[in-house]
Structure 1
Amino acid sequence: MNAPHPPKVAGIDSTLPTHAHTAAPASAAPGTPPVPTAHPPNSPHTPSAPAPGTLLQDRLAGWVSDLTTLHELTERLVRTTALDAALQELLRAGAALVGARRGLVVLEPGDGLGPRTTIGLGLGRADLGHIETVPRRALPYGELLDTAAGLPRGNGDTGESVCPDLFAEDGLDPRHREVAARLGYAASYALPLTTEAAGRLGAAVWLYDEPAEPDERRRHLAGLYVRYVTEHLARLLEVERTRASMATIAEELLPSRLPRVAGVQLAARRRSGPRGGGDWYDALPLPDAALGLAVGSVTGSGPSALAAMGRLRASLRAYAVMEGEDPVAVLSDLELLLRLTEPARSATALFAYCEPALRKITLAGAGHSPPLLIGERRTEFAETSVSAPLGMLACWEAPSAEIQAEAGDTVLLYTDGLLHRTGDPMDRAFARLQTAAASAPRALRHDPGALADHVLCTVLPDGLDAADSEEDVVLLAARFD
């Protein structure tokens, strides 16, 4: 049986300094006789009470210091643009404000739309897993995740949950006692993450290694900070949901899977910008055992660009089925449609009519970068004519080009986003792309997906292939047997 521990007030760290000159002196215990002084009452050495103006000045200095601390913490917070980074900053700053060493934040929006996640400070994945085995209502923040309990009740109430001595509590859940002893925490302080507009977003809890609780000043500052954090999290959550929705729409507008055609292997890779762009690809079987390959890009970003991309891709599929053996005719029809239906928008496109049995490719491009032919003895860009994007001229027309592939050759189609994300001038970006493809190990050249991954990571190192960028990236690789 654990003996109850007297709770103590959490200490003050350097992040939130104590103003000793503003604290009231501790009163003597009842019944304790006054301590005699060494000087008579009227002695000039008798310490006099501070003037009221001095106390007010000291108190104002303390308030200014607290406001400065909050300003510095919120400045660090607003520099976070990703949801996970903001949650980590909340944990670090909150730990400094309440004088704790560890903590966790549970993101669980009350509207059920997600995302749902748990992030720890000083707690590993295994530790978080142990905490999740405790019944929800037995956790220090369990009630805060209930919408009714998590919302502040007015009159300055923050809806906080204070547990100064966990093991001294009556009716402590046995599993919670076991987990707390295992992880070595004995007290907790939790705050809900709620806003009037967004409702409940989740809860944050900080854990103490021994019985403790933050004093009134620390709790006040933590409440102010968490209130600001929650508004910031609500904005980031909306951005995160918008990005996820745009990515889902883009995925639905693109092929769910690539077709299987004898004599050729296909692979595609796509990286979307944060607002969703209009880059797309397509691969569809055509009559006479042929294969149509296409990549393109629609100007703009956001929902309108995605909608235009979907319409353009669907139209190209119809034209490819009717007259795919003539890529120029396919793009001419597409240009006419674009000019009549969306005169304010332009697009680039490249369409290739492939005959896998002959390893022959006939293609035409409209303002698009040339394909890259990757073989055992060559890595070179295909010779294509220079042409304007669709919708730029009153009547688009350009000659087609033919490529004769060899067994084992891979034709790589891509959008300009791959080049723009490098940040280099276009000539250097083209050279980087060619060098990346030429440096692919021989073992990767038998798998178009592995080859596309190698090119993507080599052309865009340091995570640029996954970093937020206004530019979409599309790669479509076709390897001929």
Structure 2
Amino acid sequence: MSAPHLPKVAGIDPEVPVSTQTAAPLREIPAAPGAFIQDRLAGWVSDLTTLHELTERLAATATLDAALNELLHAGAALVGARRGLLVLERAGSTTPSTTLGLGLGPADLGHLETVERSATALGRILDGPPEAADARDGIATPDLLGDQDLDPRHREVATRLGYAASYALPLASEAAGRLGGAVWFYDEPGEPSEKQRHLVGLYARYATEHLARLTELERARADIATVADELLPSRLPRIPGVRLAARHRTGPQGGGDWYDALPLPDHALGLAVGSVGGSGPSAMAAMGRLRASLRAYAVMEGEDPVAVLSDLELLLRLTEPARTATALFAYCEPAARKVVLAGAGHTPPLILGDRRCEYVETTLSAPLGMLACWEAPSVEFSPAPGETVLLYTDGLLRRTGDAMDRAFARLHSAAASVPKADRHDPAAVTDHVLRAMLPDGLDRSDSTEDVVVLAAHFD
């Protein structure tokens, strides 16, 4: 017979032997970790929190200038310095170097530039091989004035500016390479601790990656702006009886807003503004094709703006059926002060003078490319001597952030508020309108809208 099995209770296997040894009763509570360990843990948490906050602030910067300023301030806070200097220069790049100071005025930067580059820690970092130990870990000079081998000119500048120590650090990473370097100045002899060096090194490597991205982005934006400028008139024509001024800003991705002014037979003048749907290189290329086509049609039949836009509609529908565009073309006879215009889905012009400030009533019509056959009546009006006709794209209205009806009212108010002394200067008129409409400036980098303003002042 087999031995009887004991019943299982609450998941306990009765066949497992029970130890006959019992643990001694707990007579005292284990001591908590020492204060030293607690302080170390608290310090690590504080350092990580600080580093996280600084990198978050850096990541929020959208322009290179803002990122460089943030880097200088954050680095100064990490190493315990008050002043600093940053130089951004990529090895082998044709882009000019960028120099930025913290707590240093233009005169101070000028004094620092008189010191031979090889005599400074920052210069050795910038000019030395990337694999050098100093180029990786930074160079601390805890007592500049006590250094017997210090360059005499460097000693003179340090005494004049009142700094006694420095810490230089490269801006480098494995992916981005070396972009430049930064140096922070101490008012008294001293140097950052090992922990400070470790934190600022981590921060600098992250900052380098961010700066590399912003550098490439700004280079792309500059290339886009250059292409956009090349697609627009290099200069405005001079026609007796009328003076012209234009302002244009291309969005960071490149857009399709454009303008044109071309002399026509019999001392006439053709004015045009328009916008191609979309953004990027494709929209810019379409804008260039559309503007070139309109110039050709304007030379052939510019006295009839409706025919010009009808031809443009047919061309767009046959060659780029998936694209839409708005356009406005005006045929001007300055000697007779006569303007005939037609618009295709475009914003109406604004006429400004001493006695009136009003929108020109144009016929409602669909944009180019949206109808099988486009045609709308033209509008004729006569600017009085001293009046200015303002043509613009809807990017000017959208940049305000207001609803369109409020943006139109804001534009009207901006034009009406032009001082009388400036109303005979088309450039002054456009600049005043832009300042009133866009207080943050025409070149605000966080806007994706193109802006075009074209002013024609009739003498």
Do they fold alike, i.e. is TM over 0.5? yes
Tell whether 2:434 aligns with 1:456. Answer: yes
In the alignment, residue 251 of structure 1 is paired with which amino acid? D
Deviation of 1:197 after TM superposition, in Å, equals: 3.1
Checking the alignment, whether the CA contact within 8 Å between 2:135 and 2:170 is kept in structure 1 is no
Pairwise CA distance, 1:59: 3.4
- Per-residue displacement from partner, 1:54-80 (whole Å, max 9, x unpaired)? 655543443233222211211121111
Q: Which residue of 2 aligns with 1:227?
A: 205
CA distance in 2, matches of 1:413, 1:478: 8
SS at match of 1:141: helix
| 1:94 and 2:75 matched | yes
Are 2:124 and 1:182 equivalent residues in the alignment?
Answer: no
Q: Check the 8 A contact 1:297/1:415 in 2, yes or no.
A: yes
Q: Return the letter of the residue paired with 2:412.
A: Q
8 Å Cα contact 2:259-2:273 kept in structure 1: yes
The aligned counterpart of 2:64 is 83
What code does the residue aligned with 1:225 have?
Y
Query: In the alignment, is residue 263 of structure 1 matched against residue 241 of structure 2?
Result: yes
Aligned 8 A contact 2:434 2:442 in 1: no
**Cα distance in 2, alignment partners of residues 410 and 208 from structure 1:** 58
CA distance in 1, matches of 2:383, 2:105: 52
Q: Does residue 419 of the first structure (1) align with residue 397 of the second (2)?
A: yes
Correspondence for 2:321: 343
Is the 1:152–1:159 contact (alpha carbons within 8 Å) kept by the matching residues of 2? no
1:353 corresponding residue in structure 2: 331
**Alignment map for 1:21-420 (pairs within 5 Å):** 56=37, 58-114=39-95, 116-146=97-127, 148-149=128-129, 151-153=130-132, 158-420=136-398
Q: Is the 8 A contact 2:173 2:208 kept in 1?
A: yes
**Unmatched tracts of structure 2, length 5 or more:** 1-30
Could you give the per-residue CA deviations for residues 279-317 of structure 1, whole angstroms, max 9, x where no partner exists? Answer: 111101111111110001111112221111111111111
Query: CA 1:135–1:300 in structure 2 vs 1: closer, same or farther (change >3 Å)?
Result: same
Aligned to 1:257, the other structure's residue is in SS state coil
Q: Which amino acid aligns with 2:151?
A: D
Percent identity of equivalent pairs: 74
CA contact (8 A) 2:363 2:377 kept: yes
- Take 1:263 and 1:157, find their aligned partners in 2: how far apart are those partners? 64
**1-structure distance, mates of 2:378, 2:41:** 78
The 1:162–1:379 alpha-carbon spacing in structure 2 relative to 1, beyond 3 Å, is same
| CA deviations over 1:260-291 (Å, ceiling 9, x no partner) | 11111000011222222211111011111111
Cα separation, partners in 2 of 1:82 and 1:403, compared to 1, 3 Å? same
Deviation at 1:465, TM superposition (A): 6.5
Contact 1:109 1:115 in 2 (8 A): no
Secondary structure at 1:81 match in 2: coil
TM-fit CA distance, 1:254: 0.8
Q: Is the 8 A contact 1:144 1:159 kept in 2?
A: no
2:212 maps to amino acid: A
CA distance in 2, matches of 1:335, 1:170: 79
AA aligned opposite 1:479? H
Q: Which 5+ residue runs of structure 1 have no aligned equivalent?
A: 1-49
What is the letter of the counterpart of residue 227 of structure 1?
R
Q: Tell me, in whole angstroms, the C-alpha distance in 2 between the residues paired with 1:324 and 1:109.
A: 51
| 1:113 shift after superposition | 3.9
Q: Which moved more, 1:289-298 or 1:459-468?
A: 459-468
Query: How many Å apart are 1:52 and its aligned residue?
Result: 8.1
Q: Distance in 2 between matches of 1:153 and 1:303?
A: 42
Distance 1:381 1:56 in 2: 75
What is the alpha-carbon root mean square deviation over aligned residues? 2.0
In 1: Cα distance, 2:108 partner to 2:409 partner: 49
What is the alpha-carbon distance in structure 1 between the residues aligned to residue 32 and residue 403 of structure 2?
Answer: 70
Structure 1 or 2, whichever has the larger Rg, is: 2
Residues 350 and 365 of structure 1 are in contact (CA less than 8 Å); yes or no, is this contact kept in structure 2? yes
CA contact (8 A) 1:456 1:465 kept: no
Equivalence for 2:22: none
Contact 1:286 1:321 in 2 (8 A): yes
Q: Answer with 156-165 or 417-426: which moved more.
A: 156-165
Deviation, 1:116, is 2.7
Give the alignment's TM-score, normalised by structure 2: 0.89
Q: Secondary structure at the match of 1:294?
A: strand
The amino acid that maps onto 1:75 is E
> What is the distance in 1 between the residues matched to 2:146 and 2:120?
15
Q: Deviations over 1:149-176 (max 9, x none)?
A: 3x2458x972412211112324322221
TM-score (norm: length of structure 1): 0.85
Change (3 A) 1:343 1:170: farther
Aligned counterpart in structure 2 of residue 471 of structure 1, from 445, 449, 452? 449
SS at match of 1:453: helix
Matches within 5 A, 1:14-25: none
Partners of 2:249 and 2:442 within 8 A in 1? no
Q: Distance in 2 between matches of 1:472 and 1:228?
A: 33
Does the residue aligned with 1:218 lie in a helix, a strand or coil? helix
Residue 178 (structure 1) shift: 1.3
Contact 1:421 1:464 in 2 (8 A): no
CA distance in 2, matches of 1:248, 1:378: 38
Q: Structure 1 residues 211 and 395 mapped into 2: Cα distance closer, same or farther (>3 Å)?
A: same
The letter of the residue matching 1:415 is T
For residue 53 of structure 1, report the CA deviation from its aligned partner. 6.7
* Number of equivalenced pairs: 429
Distance 1:380 1:134, change over 3 A: same
Q: Is the contact between residue 373 and residue 412 of structure 1 (CA under 8 Å) also seen in structure 2?
A: yes
Structure 2 CA distance, aligned partners of 1:251 and 1:197?
33
- Contact 1:295–1:351 under 8 Å retained in 2: yes
Q: Distance in 2 between matches of 1:461 and 1:55?
A: 55
Q: Secondary structure at the match of 1:178?
A: helix
